[in-house]
């Protein structure tokens, strides 16, 4: 129940919807019940002997059937049977019309509530995921997150609001019908509601298992989206390695299992309806037998018309009762999805306390690493690393793969936080510096050129959406990208496809560089591309990078000899430790790891 109310809180302010809905639904229910209850006077007008009748006013206003009888009889006596018939028909018609009008407007309110919940829930989820720290994504399946935001939320909103609708509406209807039934025959109704708990018990047996199944199905769906995502983003490799059939198999297996679960759930869900229908008819039959006997024997004061109306209303009573049981099965699916969604909302960023609130604007002196260690799991990936990145200087990180270079780089924009030791920015501890301000002065150019499926213009202006066309063009020129951009079909408006598939490796890199140029950050984090480009592309990229680095403070994961030679400080990392540090010549003289790396020609000669 707790989950249910938490989910409902996303429909805030609920009172805005609840009161008008309640009012409309009560009106709709009253008229809906009336139009069936009006059957009795209709039937008696048609079939009863009309001679020597006197209309008797009922004693209580609650005795509605008495009132109907009184009114139709008076009409009958005063205007004749035909006119009375017309009036009764008109009354039924207006009652149906009114009931449906109120029903429609109540439906609209419910739709608004549903959409409001969906909107809020999806927004909260997406914002939340965007605020999670980088390490969170390490352990998550992307597909699972996508499934939660895209599909679970949908299930939640449908089932939660449908249930709400049913819970608000159907009990009223049920009460209204019961009221009329009691008004027609107290004895008969008492007898019949004794049978109701039986059907409730049978239905609850059926729906109990649904929740666990629903949860499993939603998890499988997340898995399927994950496979889909991996298959689509890795399509080149999958085809290249002839792995298409294996990947297809994996997806289909998941698909089959998901469908199988869906089938089992549907079977169970569908079982509810015929079972309750059958139970309903069973009850009506018992009633016909019992009530029919009462009529035949002329016991009690049950007229034939009243009995037929009674049966008509009683068969209607099964509808709200059925809707209630169905909504119980639905709420189970909804709650399973709801739990998955809330699980994600409850996930807190691991290092919230390290967000910091001192805003930094520029680097005046240096970024200092003081005995910094870091571990993803147990093993130290960085071990007591100490060095300074001074303003305006270029620091190159070199070392074998897996040495911890990228990890060290990720510490600077506070994507991850040190396990021990301290990083400081102009003497301010990183734990006090606000991540946002820090990131606003850091430009990042990655190896894998991360671009979005958008126009070239918007990709360059990513960090600075208000940049003018001219500024974008200037940045592209500095990044040696302007010429090739002009040659594309729509120039700066050309769409580059998913992750930039329509561009070559070198072109993608130059767009990324243009993006950093436009952002004009005082501090640069660069990961030089290891992938080989053709000589001209290589030259253009290198030249663009050189221009980008001018007058900035940079930390580079270096793969080119020329970059390293120019660096003010080279940090040789080995198994998470700073094995050596100094300039190119200092390190060569040491004849340690660095000189061995150079000897082995680990670096590009460009």
Q: Which residues bind ligand ADP (CB under 6 A)?
A: 138, 376, 381, 399, 401-407
Output the CA torsion 444→450→454→460 (10° steps). Answer: 20
Provide the total of helices (H) and of strands (E) in the chain, helices listed first. Answer: 24, 10
Q: Which of 406, 494 has the CB closer to ligand ADP?
A: 406
Q: Which of 181, 573 has the CB closer to ligand ADP?
A: 573
Q: Which of 303, 407 has the CB closer to ligand ADP?
A: 407
72 and 84 in contact (C-beta within 8 Å)?
yes
Q: Which of 378, 605 has the CB closer to ligand ADP?
A: 378
Sign of dihedral through CA atoms 178, 181, 186, 191? Answer: negative
Nearest distance from C-beta of residue 139 to ligand ADP, angstroms: 9
Which of 356, 426, 344 is closest to 391 using CA atoms? 426
Rounded to 5 degrees, φ, ψ at 353 are -70, -15
How far apart CA 38 and CA 27 sit, in angstroms, is 16
Nearest distance from C-beta of residue 385 to ligand ADP, angstroms: 12
Which of 197, 301, 217 is closest to 259 using CA atoms? 217
> In 298-400, at which residue ranges do the beta strands (DSSP E only) sit?
366-375, 380-390, 394-398
Q: Which of 305, 381 has the CB closer to ligand ADP?
A: 381
Q: Which of 355, 406 has the CB closer to ligand ADP?
A: 406
Which of 196, 475, 145 is closest to 322 using CA atoms? 196
155 and 333 in contact (C-beta within 8 Å)?
yes
Q: Is 414 left (phi over 0), alpha (psi -120 to 50) or beta?
A: left
Nearest distance from C-beta of residue 556 to ligand ADP, angstroms: 12
In the DSSP assignment, the letter for residue 195 is T
87 and 75 in contact (C-beta within 8 Å)?
yes
Nearest distance from C-beta of residue 137 to ligand ADP, angstroms: 9
Q: Which of 275, 561 has the CB closer to ligand ADP?
A: 561
Nearest distance from C-beta of residue 130 to ligand ADP, angstroms: 19
Q: Which of 479, 567 has the CB closer to ligand ADP?
A: 567
Which of 497, 499, 478 is closest to 489 using CA atoms? 497
Which of 597, 509, 28, 43 is closest to 310 using CA atoms? 43
Nearest distance from C-beta of residue 526 to ligand ADP, angstroms: 13
How far apart CA 601 and CA 116 sit, in angstroms, is 62
Q: Which of 290, 376 has the CB closer to ligand ADP?
A: 376
Nearest distance from C-beta of residue 369 to ligand ADP, angstroms: 14
Q: Which of 242, 401 has the CB closer to ligand ADP?
A: 401
Q: Report the SS3 class of residue 442.
A: strand
Nearest distance from C-beta of residue 563 to ligand ADP, angstroms: 16
Nearest distance from C-beta of residue 395 to ligand ADP, angstroms: 15
Nearest distance from C-beta of residue 376 to ligand ADP, angstroms: 3
Nearest distance from C-beta of residue 211 to ligand ADP, angstroms: 34
Which of 28, 26, 36, 91 is closest to 314 using CA atoms? 36
Q: Which of 342, 395 has the CB closer to ligand ADP?
A: 395
Nearest distance from C-beta of residue 496 to ligand ADP, angstroms: 27
594 and 580 in contact (C-beta within 8 Å)?
yes
In the DSSP assignment, the letter for residue 575 is T
32 and 94 in contact (C-beta within 8 Å)?
no
Q: Which of 49, 379 has the CB closer to ligand ADP?
A: 379
Exposure of 272 in the CB half-sphere (CA atoms within 13 A): 27
Q: Is 486 left (phi over 0), alpha (psi -120 to 50) or beta?
A: alpha
Helices (H), 347-415: 405-411
How far apart CA 403 and CA 395 sit, in angstroms, is 16
């Amino acid at each position: 129940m707790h989950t249910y109310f938490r989910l409902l809180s996303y429909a805030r302010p609920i009172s805005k919807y609840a009161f008008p809905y309640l009012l409309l639904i009560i009106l709709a229910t009253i008229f809906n019940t009336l139009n069936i209850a009006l059957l009795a006077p209709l039937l008696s007008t048609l079939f009863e002997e009309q001679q020597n009748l006197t209309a008797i006013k009922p004693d209580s206003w609650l005795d509605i059937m008495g009132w109907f009888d009184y009114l139709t009889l008076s009409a009958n006596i005063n205007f004749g049977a035909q006119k009375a018939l017309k009036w009764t028909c008109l009354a039924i018609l207006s009652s149906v019309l009114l009931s449906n009008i109120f029903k429609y407007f109540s439906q609209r309110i419910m739709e608004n509530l549903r959409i409001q919940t969906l909107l809020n829930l999806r927004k909260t989820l997406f914002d939340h995921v965007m605020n999670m720290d980088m390490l969170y994504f390490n352990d998550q399946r992307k597909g699972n997150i996508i499934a939660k935001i895209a599909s679970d939320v949908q299930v939640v909103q449908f089932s939660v609001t449908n249930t709400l609708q049913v819970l608000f509406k159907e009990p009223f209807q049920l009460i209204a019908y019961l009221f009329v039934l009691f008004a027609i025959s107290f004895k008969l109704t008492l007898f019949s509601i004794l049978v109701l708990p039986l059907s409730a018990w049978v239905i609850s047996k059926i729906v109990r298992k649904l929740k666990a199944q629903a949860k499993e199905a939603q998890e499988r769906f997340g898995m399927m989206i994950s496979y889909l995502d991996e298959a689509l983003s890795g399509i080149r490799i999958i085809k290249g390695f002839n792995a298409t059939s294996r990947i297809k198999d994996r997806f289909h297996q998941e698909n089959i299992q998901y469908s199988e679960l869906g089938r089992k759930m549907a079977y169970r869900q569908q079982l509810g309806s015929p079972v309750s229908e059958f139970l309903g008819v069973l009850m009506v039959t018992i009633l016909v037998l019992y009530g029919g006997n009462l009529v035949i024997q002329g016991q009690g004061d049950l007229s034939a018309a009243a009995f037929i109306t009674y049966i008509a209303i009683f068969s209607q009573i099964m509808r709200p009762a059925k809707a209630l049981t169905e909504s119980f099965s639905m709420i189970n699916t909804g709650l399973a999805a709801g739990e998955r969604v809330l699980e994600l909302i409850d996930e807190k960023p691991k290092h919230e306390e390290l967000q910091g609130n001192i805003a930094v604007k520029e680097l005046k002196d240096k970024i200092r690493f003081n005995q910094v260690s870091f571990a993803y799991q147990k093993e130290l990936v960085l071990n007591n690393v100490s060095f300074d990145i001074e303003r305006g200087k270029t620091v190159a990180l070199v070392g074998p793969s897996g040495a911890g270079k990228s990890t060290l780089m990720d510490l600077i924009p506070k994507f991850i936080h040190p396990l021990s030791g301290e990083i400081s920015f102009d003497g301010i501890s990183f734990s006090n510096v606000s991540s946002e301000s820090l990131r606003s002065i850091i430009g990042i150019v990655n190896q894998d050129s991360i671009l979005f499926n958008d126009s070239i213009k918007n990709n360059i202006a990513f960090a600075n959406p208000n940049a003018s066309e001219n500024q974008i063009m200037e940045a592209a020129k500095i990044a040696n990208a302007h010429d090739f951009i002009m040659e594309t079909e729509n120039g700066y408006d050309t769409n580059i496809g998913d992750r930039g598939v329509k561009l070559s490796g070198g072109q993608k890199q130059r767009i990324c560089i243009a993006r950093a140029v436009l952002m004009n950050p005082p501090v640069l984090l660069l990961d030089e591309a290891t992938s080989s480009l053709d000589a001209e592309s290589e030259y253009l990229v290198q030249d663009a990078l050189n221009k980008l680095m001018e007058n900035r403070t940079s930390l580079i994961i270096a793969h080119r000899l020329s970059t390293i030679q120019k660096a003010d400080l080279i940090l040789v990392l080995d198994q998470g430790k700073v094995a050596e540090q100094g300039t190119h010549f200092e390190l060569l003289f040491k004849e340690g790891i660095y000189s061995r790396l150079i000897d082995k020609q680990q670096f590009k000669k460009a």
